[in-house]
C-alpha cells in the first residue's frame, strides 16, 4: 500500500513539474521516488495484508512481482534518458510511465474483479498514449490506434466476463467467487463458464497469445523503441501476473473447463511466435515475435496448477524481463547510431564494442534458454511444472519451439562476430554501460544460483 501511495504521489509530482517549472530536476526525483517505492514494497513481506475491503491483497506473490517491475522501470529510466529529448512533453510521458506502473502493481495484487478491471485500464490507457508518442511518425500513430482499438475490444470481453461471473456468483470478491465455483457443479453453471472464457479471451489479447496476437508485432514495431521496451517487459509481466493470479487461484475450481483451451493456445503461441520470428530481419520486430513466443511458455505455468507453478512463473518473468530489457537497451544504443533496427546493424560490433557484445551474448543466450543463464532455468521450471501434470506433448512442442528460438537469437550473436571492419563504435555513457552490465549479470547470477529466487514463494 505504501508503494502504491508513493508511486501515485510520484506520478502527480512529475505531472505537475511542467506547470511549476521544476522540469530540470525531475529525473533525479523519479529515481528517488522509485527507489523509495521499491524499498517500501518489502514492508509487507511475509505479512500479507488486505486493503480497502479486500480490493487489494498484498502477499509475497504480489510483492515479488511489484519489486521486479519497479526494478525494471528503474533500469528503463536509465537506458532511455534521451527519451524524446527534443519534445516538449517529455515529463508528461514520464508521468504516464509511472501511472502505468501503478496499474501494473494493482494488476499483481487485486482481490476483486473491479480492481482487476481498474488495474487493466490504468495500465493500458497510458500505454495507448505512449505508443503514439512519436507524433510525427506515421507508424507510431498507427500503432497507437491499433493498440487502442484492440485493447478496447479486449477490455470489452473482460468486462462481459466479469459481469457474467457476477451474475452467477453474486460477488466481485475473488475469495467468494472461488468458493461459489467450488460448491457448484459443472464449473459453476453456464454463466460462470461463459464468463471465465470471456475473461480468458480478454487476457489472451493483453498477453498477446496466438491467435489474439495480431496487434502485437505492429504495435511493438511502430511504437518508439523505448516504449516497446517498457511494453514487452513491465506490461507483459503485469499482465501475466494478473492472469496467473486470477486463474490459478480464483478459477482453479473450474480448471477442467479452461485448462485445455489454454493448453492449445499455449502450443499455438509457441509455434506461431517462434516460427514467425525466424523470418524477421528487423531486430525490434524479431523481439516482438519472440515476446509472443515467451508468452506461450508462460501460459504453460498457468495450467500447471501445482506447487511449482507460482515460482516458475515468477522465475520466468524475472528471466524474461531482465534479458529483454537488456536486449532493448542494446538496440537503443545501436539504433541511435545506425538509425535502423535491423539485425544487420549489429554486424561486426564485437570488435570495437566488447562490452556491448558481451551483454548481447548474455541476453541472447538467456532468451534462447541456454545454460547457465536464467532463461534456461526459467524454461526448466516451466517444463518441470508442466511435465508433473503430464502435459508431455506440450512440453515437446515447447522444446521444439525453443530450438527454433535458438536459430533467430543466434543470428544476432553471429552478426556480432562477423568479420566486418566497417562497424561503428557505439558511444555509451558510463551509467548506461553499468546498467546494461548489471542486468545481464543478474541474468547470469540467477542462472547459476537459481535458489535465490526459487525458494522465495
Partner 1 sequence: MLSVLIFFPFVAALATLIAKENAKRVALGATVIEFALSVWMAMQFNPQGGTQFMVDYWWVPSLGISFKVGMDGISMLLVLLTTFLVPIIILSSFSILKSKISNLPLFYSLILFMQMALVGVFVALDGFLFYIFWELALIPIYLICLMWGGKDRIRITIKFFIYTLVGSLFMLVGLIYLYLQTPGTHTFDIQAFYNLHLSASEQGILFWAFFLAFAIKMPVFPFHTWQPDTYTDAPTPGTMLLSGIMLKMGIYGVIRWLLPVVPMGVNEWGTTAIVLSVIGVVYASCIALVQKDFKRLIAYSSIAHVGLISAGIFSLNLQGMQGGMIQMLSHGINVVGMFFIADIIMSRTNTRNLNELGGIRNVAPTFATYFVIILLASVALPLTNGFIGEFLLINGLYQYNAWMAAVAGLTIILGAVYMLVAYKKITLGEKNKLTETFTDLTSHEKIVMIPLVIMIFAIGIYPKPFLDIAEPSVQNLLNIIHGTILK
Using CB under 8 A, list all residues that contact partner 1.
365, 370-372, 376, 380, 383-384, 387-388, 395-396, 399, 402-403, 406-407, 410, 413-414, 417-418, 450-451, 454-455
Nearer to partner 1, 106 or 367 (CB): 367
Nearer to partner 1, 279 or 407 (CB): 407
Nearer to partner 1, 45 or 417 (CB): 417
Q: What is the CA radius of gyration of the chain?
A: 21
Nearer to partner 1, 250 or 365 (CB): 365
Q: What is the 3-state secondary structure (H, E, C) of 5-23?
A: HHHHHHHHHHHHHHHHCCH
Q: Three-state DSSP class for 208?
A: coil
Minimal distance, residue 405 CB to partner 1, in Å = 10
Minimal distance, residue 61 CB to partner 1, in Å = 16
Contact 114, 172 (CB under 8 A): yes
Cell numbers 523519479 correspond to what residue? Answer: 30
How far apart are the C-alpha atoms of 391 and 259, rounded to whole Å? 11
Nearer to partner 1, 430 or 451 (CB): 451
Q: Three-state DSSP class for 182?
A: helix
Q: In DSSP terms, which residues pair with 112 in a beta bridge?
A: 173
Minimal distance, residue 6 CB to partner 1, in Å = 32
Minimal distance, residue 336 CB to partner 1, in Å = 26
Minimal distance, residue 422 CB to partner 1, in Å = 16
Nearer to partner 1, 99 or 315 (CB): 315
The grid coordinates listed for 52 are 480497502
Nearer to partner 1, 1 or 441 (CB): 441
Nearer to partner 1, 159 or 454 (CB): 454
Residue 340 parent element (H or E):
none
How far apart are the C-alpha atoms of 133 and 93, rounded to whole Å? 8
How far apart are the C-alpha atoms of 181 and 167, rounded to whole Å? 12
Residue 334 parent element (H or E):
helix 307-338
Minimal distance, residue 279 CB to partner 1, in Å = 16
How far apart are the C-alpha atoms of 186 and 193, rounded to whole Å? 8
Minimal distance, residue 386 CB to partner 1, in Å = 10
Minimal distance, residue 189 CB to partner 1, in Å = 36
Nearer to partner 1, 203 or 277 (CB): 277
Minimal distance, residue 48 CB to partner 1, in Å = 20
DSSP 253-294: GGHHHHHHHHHHHHHHHHHHHHHHHHT--BHHHHHHHHHHHH
Q: Give the number of other Cβ atoms within 10 Å of residue 108's Cβ.
A: 26
Name the region of 238 (left: φ>0; alpha: ψ -120 to 50; beta: rest). Answer: alpha
Minimal distance, residue 400 CB to partner 1, in Å = 8
Minimal distance, residue 58 CB to partner 1, in Å = 23
The grid coordinates listed for 318 are 524475472
Contact 303, 266 (CB under 8 A): yes
Nearer to partner 1, 31 or 393 (CB): 393
142-148: long-range pairs with CB below 8 Å, 24+: 142/218, 142/222, 143/218, 143/219, 143/220, 143/221, 143/222, 143/223, 144/222, 144/223, 146/215, 146/218, 146/219, 146/222, 147/215, 147/219, 147/223
Contact 401, 293 (CB under 8 A): yes
Nearer to partner 1, 39 or 454 (CB): 454
Amino acid at each position: 500500500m505504501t508503494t502504491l501511495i508513493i508511486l501515485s504521489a510520484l506520478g502527480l509530482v512529475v505531472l505537475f513539474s511542467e506547470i511549476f517549472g521544476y522540469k530540470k530536476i525531475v529525473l533525479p526525483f523519479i529515481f528517488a521516488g522509485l527507489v523509495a517505492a521499491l524499498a517500501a514494497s518489502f514492508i509487507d513481506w511475509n505479512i500479507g495484508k488486505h486493503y480497502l475491503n479486500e480490493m487489494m491483497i498484498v502477499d509475497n506473490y504480489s510483492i515479488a512481482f511489484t519489486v521486479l517491475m519497479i526494478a525494471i522501470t528503474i533500469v528503463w529510466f536509465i537506458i532511455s534518458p534521451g527519451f524524446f529529448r527534443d519534445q516538449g512533453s517529455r515529463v508528461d510521458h514520464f508521468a504516464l510511465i509511472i501511472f502505468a506502473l501503478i496499474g501494473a502493481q494493482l494488476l499483481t495484487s487485486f482481490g476483486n474483479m473491479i480492481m482487476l478491471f481498474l488495474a487493466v485500464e490504468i495500465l493500458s490507457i497510458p500505454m495507448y498514449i505512449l505508443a503514439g508518442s512519436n507524433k510525427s511518425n506515421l507508424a507510431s500513430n498507427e500503432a497507437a490506434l491499433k493498440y487502442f482499438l484492440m485493447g478496447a475490444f479486449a477490455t470489452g470481453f473482460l468486462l462481459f466476463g466479469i459481469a457474467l461471473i457476477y451474475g452467477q456468483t453474486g460477488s466481485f470478491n475473488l475469495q467468494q467467487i472461488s468458493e461459489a465455483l467450488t460448491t457448484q457443479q459443472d464449473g459453476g453453471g453456464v454463466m460462470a463458464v461463459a464468463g471465465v472464457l470471456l475473461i480468458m479471451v480478454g487476457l489472451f489479447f493483453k498477453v498477446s497469445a496466438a491467435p489474439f496476437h495480431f496487434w502485437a508485432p505492429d504495435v511493438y514495431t511502430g511504437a518508439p523503441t523505448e516504449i516497446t521496451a517498457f511494453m514487452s517487459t513491465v506490461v507483459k509481466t503485469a499482465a501475466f501476473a494478473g492472469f496467473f493470479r486470477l486463474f490459478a487461484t480464483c478459477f482453479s475450481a473450474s480448471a477442467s473447463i479452461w485448462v485445455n483451451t489454454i493448453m492449445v493456445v499455449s502450443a499455438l503461441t509457441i509455434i506461431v511466435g517462434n516460427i514467425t520470428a525466424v523470418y524477421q530481419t528487423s531486430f525490434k520486430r524479431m523481439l516482438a515475435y519472440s515476446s509472443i513466443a515467451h508468452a506461450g511458455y508462460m501460459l504453460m505455468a498457468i495450467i500447471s496448477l501445482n506447487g511449482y507453478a507460482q515460482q516458475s512463473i515468477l522465475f520466468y518473468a524475472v528471466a524474461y524481463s531482465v534479458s529483454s530489457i537488456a536486449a532493448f537497451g542494446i538496440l537503443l544504443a545501436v539504433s541511435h547510431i545506425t538509425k535502423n533496427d535491423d539485425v544487420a546493424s549489429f554486424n561486426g560490433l564485437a570488435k570495437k564494442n566488447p562490452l556491448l557484445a558481451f551483454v548481447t551474448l548474455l541476453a541472447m543466450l538467456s532468451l534462447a534458454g541456454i545454460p547457465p543463464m536464467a532463461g534456461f532455468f526459467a524454461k526448466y521450471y516451466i517444463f518441470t511444472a508442466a511435465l508433473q501434470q503430464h502435459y508431455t506433448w506440450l512440453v515437446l512442442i515447447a522444446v521444439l519451439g525453443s530450438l527454433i528460438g535458438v536459430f533467430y537469437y543466434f543470428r544476432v550473436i553471429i552478426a556480432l562476430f562477423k568479420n566486418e571492419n566497417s562497424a561503428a563504435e557505439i558511444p555509451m555513457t558510463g551509467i548506461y554501460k553499468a546498467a546494461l552490465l548489471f542486468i545481464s549479470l543478474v541474468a547470469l547470477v540467477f542462472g547459476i544460483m537459481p535458489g535465490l529466487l526459487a525458494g522465495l514463494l
